[in-house]
Amino acid sequence: MPDTTSLTATSHRAGTTLLDSPAIAVRDVSVGFGPKTVLSEVDLPIERGTITALIGPTGCGKSTLLRSLNRMNDKTRGYWRRGRIEFDGADIADPGTDLLNLRRRVGMVFQRPNPFPMSISDNVVAGVRAHRMVPRAEMAAVAERYLKEVSLWGAVAERLGDSPFRLSGGQQQLLCLARALAVEPDVLLLDEPTSSLDPVTTEIVEDLLRKLAPRLTIVIVTHNLAQARRVSKTTAFLYNGRLVEQGDTAQIFEQPTQPETVSYVGGRIG
Ligand SMILES: Nc1ncnc2c1ncn2[C@@H]1O[C@H](COP(=O)(O)OP(=O)(O)OP(=O)(O)O)[C@@H](O)[C@H]1O
Ligand SMILES: [Mg+2]
């Protein structure tokens, strides 16, 4: 049995069963920059404990939507948002939202690996340390656990004190994944996390995502349609400022209902 005590406590307050509700609910959300509207009236429930893929041609707003989910765009010049984004039932824009805590619980990994200028092991526990999640004496064990989880331990065990910048690009990305996982998020947002990785590392990441999904909710932006099919349960297709279609991944790829989706998954647009 998973430990659901804290969720149940929250759900009594909210009067609903949170375990059955979406981890994140995007309700009638429009986003843009200055005079430009990037996406209009998006409704998207992100199912708890599953992988959701966001697909669509370049510039359609995938990253903008993803970054809205943990308020990463807040400080971007000109950015605005209308509508509601709920995380565990509460609007993430509520004045009472603790932004640091939101970003711990809704973590993010970017397209380009961004290790911090500190040792490999310090990278893994950077967030754990900042949030004072475990005593100092346990940091090494936490680093080892998450480096093992992302299949990087074997490659770095002998050089934990080294700079991460001497690792290969793929290893750096695995390190960033380890860092994101170490703070035990509920949701992981991934923006084209494997687009610069070789096929072997890509497979490591995809296997890991599948393994994580029951305890973690994952949203992945990808241009790789085969990847979306391989890893996701649900797919959402963004095009021309709209969320054109969302549904079960097999349905989106095999029986799309909208003509734009038919063209995109058939390789005719994008
Ligand atoms: N900081 C910004 N200021 C102004 N416009 C922006 C900014 N960031 C993104 N945009 C615009 O918003 C639109 C959506 O961009 P976004 O990066 O979300 O697209 P995307 O779907 O992630 O594309 P790609 O597949 O190329 O990564 C684009 O027209 C882009 O030029
Ligand atoms: Mg993008």
* 16 pLDDT higher than 60: no
Output the CA–CA distances (angstroms, integers) from residue 42 to 31, 73, 103, in the order listed.
9, 17, 22
Q: Would you say the CB of residue 74 lies under 6 angstroms from ligand 1?
A: no
Cβ count near 155 (within 10 Å) = 16
Helix intervals (H) in 15-117: 62-68, 99-105
The confidence band for 89, taking pLDDT boundaries of 50, 70 and 90, is confident
* Helix, coil or strand: residue 204: helix
Residue with CA nearest ligand 1 atom 31: 59
Do 218 and 185 form a contact (C-beta atoms < 8 A)?
Answer: no
The domain ranges of the chain are: 49-71+96-265
Q: How far is the CA of 191 from the centre of ligand 2 (A)?
A: 7
pLDDT digits (tens, 9 = 90+) for 91-138: 999 999 999 999 999 999 999 999 999 999 999 999 999 999 999 999
- Burial, 10: exposed, middle or buried (Cβ in 10 Å; 0-12, 13-18, 19+)? middle
Residue with CA nearest ligand 1 atom 29: 59
* Helix, coil or strand: residue 249: helix
Q: Is the dihedral of CA 6, 10, 16, 22 positive or negative?
A: negative
- State pTM to two decimals: 0.92
Ramachandran quadrant class, 61 (left: phi over 0; alpha: psi -120 to 50; beta: rest): left
**Ligand at shortest distance from the CA of 37:** 1
Q: How far is the CA of 112 from the centre of ligand 2 (A)?
A: 11
Kindly calculate the radius of gyration of the chain based on its CA atoms and give it in whole angstroms: 19
**Ligand at shortest distance from the CA of 60:** 1
Q: How far is the CA of 58 from the centre of ligand 2 (A)?
A: 7
Q: How far is the CA of 64 from the centre of ligand 2 (A)?
A: 7
Q: Would you say the CB of residue 80 lies under 6 angstroms from ligand 1?
A: no
State the CATH architecture for 49-71+96-265: 3-Layer(aba) Sandwich (3.40)
Which residues lie below 8 Å from residue 101, measured CB to CB, with a gap of 6+?
A: none
